[in-house]
Amino acid sequence: MVNNEVLADELDNQQLAWDLQMNLDRIIEENTQLAKKVQLDQLIPFIYHIQQAKRIFITAAGRSGFAMQSAAMRLMHLGLTVYYVGDTTSPAIRAGDLLIAASGSGTTGSIVKAVEKSIGAGANIVGITTNAESPLAKLCNHLVLVPAAEKEDHSKKVSTQYAGSLFEQFLLLLNDAIFQSLWKLSGQPAEELWERHANLE
């Protein structure tokens, strides 16, 4: 005798598994397509700005902030002096420093204000955004344009994911690609980077 409840649960689980696989495939495909649209000639100066900076400051908000904190960690592993804006040990930004600011909309108030203050201090600015007409894009010394959907774009023309998910995911991938290139240029072995990993965890 067939247990209808068990059968229904199995069918529900099959549907859920199918949905999960479709979601994973969709997310990977959207990021793959986005990677092909990013202009590499915007990334090369980004690398040079990092190499030439006395110190590096990083700022972003929300989920973008989590991705950029990961970027800050990797730059620290390379031996660079890097601070995440808002941390209690983050010092004043000065001339010769670099601020990397990420905002999907390019209009996030706290990010724009940090950029304006950094400009006043004589620092250089690299902005990462989806919006070429945004305040962030117009203020920065160098712009990295990521043609993902803004979080308030519900048209699903660029991404079927919720809000700014694609931009936030791609920030992590983009910064890991930047890190890989910087690591190769540094000539440091993995063992040297490993010595800088946190050891109080």
Distances (CA, A) of 177 to 24, 136, 150, 182: 21, 22, 22, 9
* Residue 5 designated active-site: no
SS3 track for 81-129: CEEECCCCCCCCCCCCCEEEEECCCCCCHHHHHHHHHHHHCCCEEEEEE
Q: Distance (Å, rounded) from C-alpha 15 to C-alpha 17? A: 5
Catalytic residue among 133, 150, 168, 191: 168
Q: Is the alpha carbon torsion for 139, 140, 143, 148 positive or negative?
A: negative
Tokens at 176, concatenated = 């890991």
Q: Which residues are catalytic?
A: 168
